[in-house]
A and B are shown apart, each in its own frame.
Chain A
Amino acid sequence: MGLLVALLAALLVGALLTCYASGIDPVKKVAEWTDEAFQLKAEESTIYMGRWGDMTDEEAWDLLMPTWLPEGYKRSEPKINRNEAFVSYYVEYWNSEEELLSIVIRRDIVDGIRVYEKDERPVEEYVYEEITHYIMHNLDRITAVWIYEDYECSISGPVTQEEMKQILRSVYEK
């Protein structure tokens, strides 16, 4: 009996270690949306126990930035915001018509709320590289939102749905 308990305990510890090694976030976020807004909410009351992944923020920003954008956009200097509640990395891209395409990569250190504006058109769940990207419309803009390890990422801009998917694919094709 004692051996059985020990074996079960070892299996459980092994499973947990595998979870952490593969970057699975035990505190999962669930997508919820209405006709007006979209959010990724933690399934349970969020207890932040530290980092799940072992990337630095700088490594995450390099990893999660797209390498393709529609022609004509020029990148501005990123704005980095670090405090005891969150770390955010915000980049603006402007085209010659003064249209803004923006990218935000954000890691919450304490529990937070993030609300994305959308209209009544349906949200598309675009799965690429086993990650679900939520693509939604906000009038003339398209926003894509996804989670990677500790980071909630978003891209918003006056692009088509197909252009947004191409932007998203370029994140992984490096």
Chain B
Amino acid sequence: MKRKGTAMVLCLVLLAAMLPIQVQAEERAQIARSSDFIDDYNINFYSVGGGKVRIAFEVYATSVMDDVGATRILLYGGPSADQLLPVETFYESTSPNMIASNTSSHSSSVTFTGQSGYYYQALVYVRATKDGVWDSRNTWTSIIRA
């Protein structure tokens, strides 16, 4: 009786442990597939002078979305192009206008004040959400010099 109980507990623990793996597999499969929500997106990353760099983005969705835009922008920088370290992260929750609601497209930008002559690169996450389901993509920019 005790052994049966232990076996059942172990089975339940095993099933519970497999669940996040299955969710992750579905997420990976979703990422690898084409998109129900995003048609295309654009990113421009450039120096605006005085050590400042700007990331401008546009996201075009397949229909009106509950929200569409960029959710995170990770910025890496350093004195040489082969030694870039994280310097700033922009989040939709703290950077105004990164995400728009009830629309099929969104365009905006974020600006970072860095150091002239330093090198920078950005990793941009875009997303479109409808009825609680979302599609997200991320893209590295080229390395630029401020």
A116 to B58, CA, bound (A): 12
A81 and B43 in contact (CB under 8 A), knowing A36-B32, A88-B107, A139-B36? no
Q: Is the CB of A99 within 8 A of B107?
A: no
CB proximity of B30 to chain A, nearest CB, Å = 11
The one of B34, B40, B44, B64 in contact with A139, judged by C-beta atoms closer than 8 angstroms, is: B34
Give the size category of A's interface with B. Answer: 35 or more
Q: Is the CB of B34 within 8 A of A117?
A: yes
A36 to B41, CA, bound (A): 14
CB proximity of A113 to chain B, nearest CB, Å = 5
CB proximity of A50 to chain B, nearest CB, Å = 16
Q: Is the CB of A83 within 8 A of B109?
A: yes
B137: which A residues are within 8 A, CB to CB?
115, 117
Q: Is the CB of A138 within 8 A of B42?
A: no
A156: which B residues are within 8 A, CB to CB?
39-40, 60, 62
Check B116 for interface membership: any CB of A closer than 8 A.
no
B107: which A residues are within 8 A, CB to CB?
81, 88
Binding site for A on B (CB under 8 A): 32-36, 38-46, 48, 54, 56, 58, 60, 62-64, 104-105, 107, 109, 137, 139, 141-142
8 A-B pairs within 8 Å (CB atoms) are namely A85-B54, A98-B63, A110-B44, A113-B141, A115-B41, A117-B35, A117-B137, A138-B34
Binding site for B on A (CB under 8 A): 36, 79, 81, 83-86, 88, 90, 92, 98-100, 102, 104, 106, 108, 110-120, 137-139, 141, 143, 154, 156
